[in-house]
Amino acid sequence: MEKLCIYICMALLFAGCAKEKTPSECDTLYDVYKPTGFTNGQSYTVMDSTQFVYGSINPNDPNEVVYYGGKHPNWHMYVYNVSTKQRTKVSDHSPTHNIKWHRSGWICYATTDNNIYIVKPNGDSLRQLTVTGDCFTPEWNALGDKIICYRGYQGFTDGNNYIINKFTGIVSPINLTIGGVGTCSWSPNDSIIISAPWTDVRCINYYTGEEKNVPNMKSPKTDISGVCWMPDGKRILWCPESQPEILNFETGHSQALLSACDKMEYTYPSVTADGRYALFNLNIGGYVGYNTTQTKRRLSRIDLTTNTETILELPE
């Protein structure tokens, strides 16, 4: 446990830096995907009328993703197969933060009522697990019988992570205080939980309760936007400064997957069971004038064997 956290510290101190895209390369990418559409009620923000957010890849099929979106205002939760072009409506719920797909076939998510739900990819067996109205960012354990979520927002509760039993719905606290709505990921052997709120990374042994803070994280370089264990249990996908990287615990090295571009922000990673493909939520946008921002949200699939990115074309 202590060795694991030391590796994380080393990676944060000695992480490799990717070559940044030139301004012209960034502008070219932005011109292809730049937002056009409507204001979201805030005059300084322009959002594209078609959005795809909170995506998660099917662990058993890299061609299938679950996401929330469509053409405004008809946004729903869908499963889409990019190979067969088949789209299935899963739910009318409006999820928040992230959706997670377990290899057993179950999907978990939190909605705007701040409760946790599970459902099958075809929309069957929808079930509400919590009723407290204060649960966010759920994540499955490896076996698929438990979910960890952050509980506590706007003064509702104590701001800890909690474990939910999928079968009974019983909610139990775990002593991992993160102090903000972040994301967690459960190791493949169910023992180590990594917690990554926006400016911190912590780990805890689920069985012993041993917690270890990772130092040197309170800096702008640790603006983390998601974390996900790789199936080998030795690496994690994460998004420091909203850029996709893989952290290797054995070497203490964090490797950038793509060249950096300040107009492309990556969040909420998920990965296939064989560790080959990763899916990231992608925010494309930037400042276009005084207090004016444009945003388009898409899903980015990366082949981790070649670091090849595909921005998925999804139906409106």
Per-residue confidence at 230, pLDDT binned at 50, 70, 90? very high
Please tell me the CATH code under which domain 2-311 is placed. Answer: 2.130.10.10
Q: How far apart are CA 285 and CA 198, in angstroms?
A: 20
What is this structure's pTM?
Answer: 0.81
Per-residue confidence at 276, pLDDT binned at 50, 70, 90? very high
What does the pLDDT read at residue 95?
81
Contact 207, 191 (CB under 8 A): yes
| Sole residue written with tokens 């042994």 | 205
The per-residue pLDDT for range 41-81, each reduced to its tens digit, is 444 455 566 788 899 999 999 999 999 988 777 789 999 99
The more confident residue out of 96 and 271 is: 271
- Tell me whether strands 211-213 and 61-71 are parallel, antiparallel or unpaired: unpaired
- Average pLDDT of the chain to the nearest whole number: 75
Contact 246, 257 (CB under 8 A): yes
Q: What length is written for the chain?
A: 316
Q: Which residues pair with 38 in a beta bridge?
A: 47
Is the bond leading into 188 cis (omega within 30 degrees of zero)? no
What does the pLDDT read at residue 305?
95
What does the pLDDT average to over 84-91? 95
Per-residue confidence at 206, pLDDT binned at 50, 70, 90? confident
What does the pLDDT read at residue 63?
97
Per-residue CA distances from 182 to 50, 146, 195, 211, 221 (Å) = 26, 18, 7, 17, 16
Residue 8, SS3?
A: helix
The per-residue pLDDT for range 296-314, each reduced to its tens digit, is 788 999 999 999 999 998 9
Q: What secondary structure letter does DSSP report for 2?
A: H
Residue 20, SS3?
A: strand
The per-residue pLDDT for range 118-156, each reduced to its tens digit, is 999 999 999 998 888 877 788 888 888 888 877 765 444
Per-residue confidence at 94, pLDDT binned at 50, 70, 90? confident
The more confident residue out of 304 and 226 is: 304
What does the pLDDT read at residue 161?
61
pLDDT over 80 at 201, yes or no = no
Domain borders along the chain are 2-311
Q: What secondary structure letter does DSSP report for 59?
A: T
What does the pLDDT read at residue 33?
59
Per-residue CA distances from 156 to 74, 94, 200 (Å) = 31, 21, 22
